[in-house]
Amino acid sequence: MGRFKKKQREKKRAKRKRRGFNKKKGRTSKSAMKSPIKASKKSNNLASIKDVDQLINFAEKYKGTPYVFGGKSSMGFDCSGFTQHVFENADINIPRTSGSQAKEGSSISLSQARKGDLIFFGKSRSKVTHVGIVVSDLGEDIKMIHASSSQGITITNVSESSYWKPKINRVRRYRMA
CB 168 within 8 A of CB 158: yes
| Active-site pick, 27, 146, 170, 173 | 146
Contacts of 67 (CB under 8 A, 6+ apart): 76, 77, 78, 147, 148, 149, 150, 151, 152, 153
| Cβ contacts of 149 within 8 Å, gap of 6 or more | 67
Catalytic-labelled residue, pool 27, 85, 115, 130: 130
The question of whether 146 is a catalytic residue gets the answer: yes
Distance CA 71, CA 64 (A): 14
> Does residue 79 carry a catalytic annotation?
yes
Catalytic residue among 37, 56, 79, 171: 79
**Catalytic residue IDs:** 79, 130, 146
